[in-house]
Amino acid sequence: MSSHELFETSGVPIRAWVRGVSIEPAARRQLENVARLPIVFRHVAAMPDVHFGIGATVGSVIPTEGAIIPAAVGVDIGCGMMAVETTLTAAQLPDSLHALRSAIEAAVPHGRTNNGGRGDRGAWHHVPGPVDAAWRRTLSREYAQICDKHPKLGQGNDQNHLGTLGTGNHFIEVCLDERDHVWFMLHSGSRGVGNRIGTYFIELAKKDMKRHLGDLPDKDLAYFTEGARHFDEYVTAVGWAQRYAATNRQLMMDAVVAAAQKELAAFELGETAVNCHHNYVAREHHYGREVFITRKGAVRARLGDLGIIPGSMGARSFIVRGKGNPESFCSCSHGAGRAMSRNEAKRRFTVEDHAAATAGIECRKDADVIDETPAAYKPIDKVMAAQEDLVEIVHELRQVVCVKG
């Protein structure tokens, strides 16, 4: 029996896996706006971590025929998760994990200064060999071709952001599973270059639909149709950004593992490794039709697919296996989902609250991360319970180290 709720709209229905969790009125309105678009196929799916976003709702799965909505894909194109299992156990970890956290922070640039540029501590100032090799091997030529057509896209940190973490809810963690095996896990995407591509094509879509914007329920839902002037260029650019994001996570994970090998007992990587997007668009086959599936804050969960659903700085995370539920377009949530805005979290919680919520975890406990405190997110247990027909839990992880930008 399906655990989702069905909401009728003036367009296609919304199927929402939100039983036991809240869905804010603003997010519901955004879902209804998307459902009214003529390009949307069959229904919109809302995951239990659903919350208000820009244009389209975070935690939504949007199937479209012959068109893509750039704002639904968003500006953190290809953002996602990576996790690797190791042969280490909790008993082999040192009593203090501060040196391990410091080593990871030194190995992976994270955060940024207000002025960006050469003072940006979240970018490479001297690109290391492995990053340079990855850029030249898999990314540079194709990106140069994109920039030839759209020169504005080449004006920023592209190679210098590859293999770096970023800010906000991006993180690197050391975790223990239910067997006390050690895992490394991280969350990041396409960094500045993905933001630039997303922002640029969102504006192009608005210009292309200028005469029709008044017909849209939200101007941020402007879309490219197949055959339109910029459709193929957007597909090429967004596909490249998604590959950049996956490469970015792999390079960071390599750096994290190398840093840990210098600080911890000898270990090898285990059998399980997952590298999955949760902000992206892909061509897929559903209900007998080939459609574009945009997952904005959602993970692909086909039958047997492994995915990652993180909690928050003080909550558990999960390695999951998809059940291939067709009504969700084979998708699941991408995390716990925010329960409030960042500004509201800063108003509501203190440094003391945050320190108590992250007790026993080696992490930042200062005012600059209050907006990421665990209570700013929905309870992960309720989120997992709401999607029992979408995924099964393979491993349950609890973090012992968390690095935030």
Which active-site residues does the annotation give? 334
Residue type, 84: V
Residue 342: helix, strand or coil by DSSP? helix
CA-CA distance, 306 to 322, in Å (whole number)? 6
Tell me the CA distances in angstroms from 402 to 49, 232, 302, 357, 365, one per residue in order.
21, 39, 29, 13, 11
Helix 231-263 vs helix 140-149: angle between axes, to the nearest 10 degrees? 150
H or E segment to which residue 202 belongs: helix 191-208
Cα-trace Rg, the chain: 21
Pair 296, 314: CB distance under 8 Å: no
280-290 burial: b if 16+ Cβ within 10 Å, else e: bbeebeeeeee
218-246 burial, b at 16+ Cβ within 10 Å, e below that, comes to: bebbbbbbeebebbebbbebbbbbbebbb
Angle at 72 between CA 331 and CA 36, to 5 degrees: 90
SS3 content of the chain, % helix, strand, coil (to 5): 35, 25, 35
Residues 6+ apart with CB under 8 A from 384: 309, 318, 393
Q: How far is the C-alpha of 262 from the C-alpha of 209, rounded, in Å?
A: 55
CA distance linking residue 174 with residue 93, whole number of Å: 11
Rounded CA separation 270/91 (Å): 17
Q: Rounded distance, CA 398 to CA 338, Å?
A: 19
Matching residue, tokens 């996570």: 249
Say how many Å lie between the first and final Cα of the chain, rounded.
42
- Helix 191-208 to helix 231-263 angle (10° resolution) is 160
Report the alpha-carbon distance of residue 186 to residue 252 in Å, rounded: 8
